[in-house]
């Protein structure tokens, strides 16, 4: 068999179940499943869906509801199987021999570029995690990826800077997976910039990571091309229903967002010396505490490369954050006793 070279060099998936942890703060998930009352209501709705039937070929109804939610037209919205799927689809639409990313950032951009057989050019974020001179490498770029708030650093890129990058005319994918926790968004810019595609998701603030629903927001002209590469029937009718249900319960969603932001700020205050300010549902911390925490039943993400010795901690429920605080304080005390870092 002749395996394509780009596939041969892709690493094998390593998403095997990890050490079981009592507290999971490693995947930026929403710590709350639906409360029992709402869950029951949703399950009642799901039970009415005929599973022998295909879902709609294209999820128009949900797109209409999302458009209304953002004050845009349905033509501006495209739903897919998580925003991850959209990253892959977008790279099929445009021409150009490389993508631009700004590390440290989300790994899926590079993954899908490799799948497409094109290069990933990295213009690392500045010391303070602002975008570097990405325009200098924009010639013949297929897509520029900007993640804001950025995973794993948690900062947002100023709107003014995003507009400067848009002025290159190169397609810009603005990944706003965490926008609900930042309280600001740039979806409205699609009215002025044809080359902007904003990615949003139901996986984080809306708490539906298991349902795999994401969406893109772009101008009608750009969407016209994006829709051509979306395989029909790709989104499950169960997931579509769940997403529509959440849009009908935004009071609840906003309450959870508020809770997570409050808890994020509490964690930040506790570890000011080690944590970077965050506009997302996680915190980057300059603490090499991954193994220490895991031994105590708390899973966080261990970072590497430029962020060697750092962890990314998802904001959890109050009691989970309490456990984190207690154990991290113990870790810091231990490190100080050993004189690490002196
Ligand atoms: C979690 C996350 C997503 C969400 O992806 P889905 O496929 O919609 O679950 C997208 N981008 C970034 C940067 C993320 O961290």
Residue nearest to atom 11 of ligand 1 (CA): 177
Separation in Å, CA 9 to CA 4, 114, 192: 9, 9, 40
| Local confidence band at 337 (pLDDT 50, 70, 90 cut-offs) | confident
Report pLDDT digits (tens) over 7-62. Answer: 888 888 876 556 678 999 999 999 999 999 999 999 999 999 999 999 999 999 99
Q: How far apart are CA 335 and CA 342, in angstroms?
A: 10
Average pLDDT score, the chain? 96
The pLDDT, as a whole number, for residue 11 is: 85
The pLDDT, as a whole number, for residue 21 is: 85
Give span(s): CATH 3.40.640.10, the chain. Answer: 52-247
Angle, alpha carbons 118-28-233 (nearest 5°): 60
201 CA distance to ligand 1 centroid (A)? 7
The pLDDT, as a whole number, for residue 341 is: 57
* Closest to 129 in 3D by CA, of 147, 107, 110: 147
Q: How far apart are CA 272 and CA 264, in angstroms?
A: 11
Both tokens of 191, joined, read 């009215």
Check whether 142 has a pLDDT greater than 80.
Answer: yes
Residues 6+ apart with CB under 8 A from 200: 83, 176, 177, 179, 187, 214, 215, 216, 217
pTM of the model: 0.96
User: Candidates 78, 125, 203: which one to mutate for ligand 1, based on the most atoms within 8 Å of Cβ?
Assistant: 203
CATH code linked to domain 52-247: 3.40.640.10
Both tokens of 43, joined, read 């399950």
The pLDDT, as a whole number, for residue 14 is: 75
Q: How far apart are CA 93 and CA 75, in angstroms?
A: 17
The pLDDT, as a whole number, for residue 339 is: 79
Q: Which atom of ligand 1 is nearest to the CA of 214?
A: 8
The pLDDT, as a whole number, for residue 18 is: 60
CB-CB contact of 246 with 207 (8 Å): yes
- Binding-site residues, ligand 1, Cβ < 6 A: 28, 82-84, 106, 147, 151, 175, 177, 201, 203-204, 209, 214
The pLDDT > 70 percentage for the chain reads 98
* DSSP per-residue codes, 15-51: ----S--SEE-SS---S-PPPHHHHHHHHHHHTTS-T
Q: How far apart are CA 125 and CA 276, in angstroms?
A: 15
The pLDDT, as a whole number, for residue 17 is: 59
For 184, list phi and psi in degrees, rounded to 5. -145, 155
248 CA distance to ligand 1 centroid (A)? 22
Report pLDDT digits (tens) over 213-230. Answer: 999 999 999 999 999 999
Separation in Å, CA 12 to CA 7, 108, 233, 241: 10, 14, 28, 33
Check whether 240 has a pLDDT greater than 60.
Answer: yes
Report pLDDT digits (tens) over 156-209. Answer: 999 999 999 999 999 999 999 999 999 999 999 999 999 999 999 999 999 999
| Local confidence band at 305 (pLDDT 50, 70, 90 cut-offs) | very high
CB-CB contact of 59 with 67 (8 Å): no
| Local confidence band at 124 (pLDDT 50, 70, 90 cut-offs) | very high
CB-CB contact of 29 with 314 (8 Å): yes
Half-sphere exposure of 78 (CA within 13 A, CB side): 27
CB-CB contact of 146 with 175 (8 Å): yes
Report pLDDT digits (tens) over 281-302. Answer: 999 999 999 999 999 999 999 9
Token pair 């964690």 is at which residue? 267
* DSSP per-residue codes, 312-342: EEE---HHHHHHHHHHHHHHHHHHHHHTTT-
The pLDDT, as a whole number, for residue 135 is: 97
* Closest to 266 in 3D by CA, of 323, 332, 315, 207: 315
Check whether 338 has a pLDDT greater than 90.
Answer: no
Q: What is the mean pLDDT of residues 232-248?
A: 97
Can you point out the beta strands (E) in the chain? 23-24, 77-80, 98-101, 119-122, 141-147, 172-175, 196-201, 214-218, 282-285, 298-299, 301-302, 311-314
120 CA distance to ligand 1 centroid (A)? 19
Q: What is the mean pLDDT of residues 75-100?
A: 97
CATH 3.90.1150.10 correct for 23-28+251-335? yes
């Amino acid at each position: 068999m002749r395996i394509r070279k780009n596939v041969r060099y892709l690493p094998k998936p390593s998403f095997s179940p990890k050490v079981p942890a009592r507290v999971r703060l490693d995947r930026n998930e929403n710590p709350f499943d639906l409360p029992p009352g709402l869950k029951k209501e949703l399950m009642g709705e799901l039970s009415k869906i005929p599973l022998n039937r295909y879902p709609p070929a294209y999820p128009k109804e949900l797109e209409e509801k999302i458009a209304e939610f953002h004050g845009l037209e349905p033509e501006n919205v495209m739903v897919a199987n998580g925003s991850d799927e959209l990253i892959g689809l977008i790279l099929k639409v445009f021409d150009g021999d490389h993508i631009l990313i700004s590390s440290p950032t989300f790994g899926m951009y590079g993954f899908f570029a490799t799948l497409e057989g094109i290069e990933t050019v990295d213009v690392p974020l500045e010391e303070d995690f602002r975008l570097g001179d990405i325009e200098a490498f924009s010639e013949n770029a297929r897509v520029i990826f900007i993640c804001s708030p950025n995973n794993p650093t948690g900062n947002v890129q100023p709107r003014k800077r995003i507009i400067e990058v848009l002025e290159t005319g190169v397609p810009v994918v603005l990944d706003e997976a965490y926008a609900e926790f930042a309280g600001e968004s740039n979806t409205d810019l699609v009215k002025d910039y044809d080359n902007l595609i904003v990615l949003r998701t139901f996986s984080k603030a809306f708490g539906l990571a298991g349902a795999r629903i994401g969406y893109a927001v772009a101008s009608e002209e750009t969407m016209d091309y994006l829709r051509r590469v979306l395989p029909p029937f790709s989104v499950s009718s169960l997931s579509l229903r769940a997403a529509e249900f959440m849009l009908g319960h935004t009071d609840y969603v906003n309450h959870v967002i508020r809770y997570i932001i409050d808890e994020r700020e509490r964690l930040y205050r506790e570890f000011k010396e080690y944590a970077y300010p965050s506009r997302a549902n996680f915190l980057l911390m300059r603490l090499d505490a991954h193994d220490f925490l895991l031994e105590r039943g708390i899973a966080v993400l261990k970072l590497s490369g430029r962020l060697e010795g750092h962890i990314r901690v998802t904001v959890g429920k109050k009691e989970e954050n309490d456990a984190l605080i207690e154990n991290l304080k113990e870790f810091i005390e231990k490190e100080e006793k050993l004189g690490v870092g002196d």
